[in-house]
Chains A and B, each alone.
Chain A
Amino acid sequence: MALRKNRGGKSSVDVPMSAMIDVVFLLLIYFIVTYKEEIPEAHLAINLPQPQDRPSDPETPPQLLEIEIRPTQYLLRNMPMSLDRVESVLTSMAARDPELTVIIKVDQRSKTKNLVGVLDICKNVNLTNLNVVTLQ
């Protein structure tokens, strides 16, 4: 900053405006370029089928619940139902047995978003033992 003397003998401060504007514009461009909308991502954990020769678990067999995902419908214990109905059944079953093992059988022709929908419900009702197998 340059100090300049006025005619009356008083000194005034000369602010370098052009440099400041340079910096401000560059910062502005930087933030515009680097701005990226953050999409929050959820991770839905699943277990994949393991080889048959693994030792099976103890005397008390786990409670199993089978859900089938077909291209156009969901089957819970072989009963066709809507996703909302699946949600209400899973909520009541999870309240009774939080350790419930869910086996999700997915038809090869169905879309992944259908599986994500079921996994999302399971996560929401705190069912964590989720096994996904493919229907041939």
Chain B
Amino acid sequence: MKRRHNDSVETPVASLIDVVFLLIIFFVVTASIETDVVDDTIKLAQAKNSEGVKDVPPNRLTINIREDGSMNIAKQKITKRKLESLLRSLHKNVGDNLTILMRCDGEVRYEHVSSVQEVITEAGYYKVNLVAVAGK
């Protein structure tokens, strides 16, 4: 800020507008990123021969299973009963046009995964995708 002879204060409006616009852009961009919540605590198993997927399916439900066997969807804890009712309503509304992705920790015992798979089959879905870290 510059002081003139008559002691008036000149505010640097141009740089303020720059900052405000950049903040707006920042929040717009980060808000769109946040729609795809990923559970970072899960250490996926390695699939060293497989290629990474380029296009994620548009209709998808990602179920995260942590090492201790706890389950969440978009970091929101969910019980098996709630998952089943969710899957049943999805089956009613979108039918088989849904890709179920299971992001399981590589160290989780299979009994936890199979119990979730039982819930999935009871809701009427018989195809799932296990997510792993691509090696190629």
Chain A residues with CB under 8 Å of chain B are 16, 18-19, 22-23, 26-27, 30, 33-34, 39-50, 69, 106-113, 115-117, 119-121, 123-124, 132, 134
Interface size on B, residues (CB 8 A): 48
A134 to B118 CA separation, bound complex (whole angstroms): 10
Q: Are A113 and B19 in contact (CB under 8 A)?
A: no
Interchain CB contact under 8 A, A48 and B131 = no
When the two chains form the complex, which single residue of B22, B125, B130 contacts A44, counting CB atoms closer than 8 Å? Answer: B130
| Residues in A whose Cβ lies below 8 Å from that of B23 | 26
Closest partner residue, chain B, to A38 (CB atom): B52
Contact assessment for A42 and B47 in the assembled complex, using a CB-CB cutoff below 8 Å: yes
- Can you list 13 residue pairs at the A/B interface with Cβ under 8 Å? A22-B19, A26-B22, A42-B47, A43-B129, A48-B126, A48-B127, A108-B111, A108-B114, A109-B111, A110-B110, A117-B45, A120-B50, A120-B132
Inter-chain contacts of A119 with B (CB < 8 A)? 47, 130, 132
Prevailing SS type, chain B contact patch: mixed
Indicate if B33 sits at the interface (CB-CB under 8 A): yes
B contact set with A: CB distance below 8 Å: 12, 14-15, 18-19, 22-23, 25-26, 29-30, 33, 44-53, 101, 104-111, 113-114, 117, 120-121, 125-136
User: Which residues from chain B contact A117 at a C-beta distance below 8 Å?
Assistant: 45, 47
Given A111-B106, A112-B45, A124-B49, answer yes or no on A44-B132 (Cβ-Cβ < 8 Å).
yes
**A19 in contact with B132 given A44-B50, A109-B111, A113-B106 (CB within 8 Å):** no
Residue of A23, A27, A43 with most chain B CB atoms under a 10 A cut-off: A43
Find out whether the CB atom of B127 lies under 8 angstroms from the CB atom of A47: yes
Rank and list the top 5 A-B pairs by shortest CB-CB distance, nearest first. A40-B52, A113-B106, A113-B45, A42-B50, A124-B49
Measured between beta carbons, the chain B residues less than 8 angstroms from A40 are: 51-53, 133-134, 136
Q: Min CB distance, A81 to chain B, in Å? A: 18
User: Are B109 and A46 interface neighbours, CB within 8 A?
Assistant: no
Q: Which of B45, B106, B131 has the most CB of A within 10 A?
A: B45
The verdict on A41 contacting B107 (CB below 8 Å), with A48-B126, A112-B113 known, is no
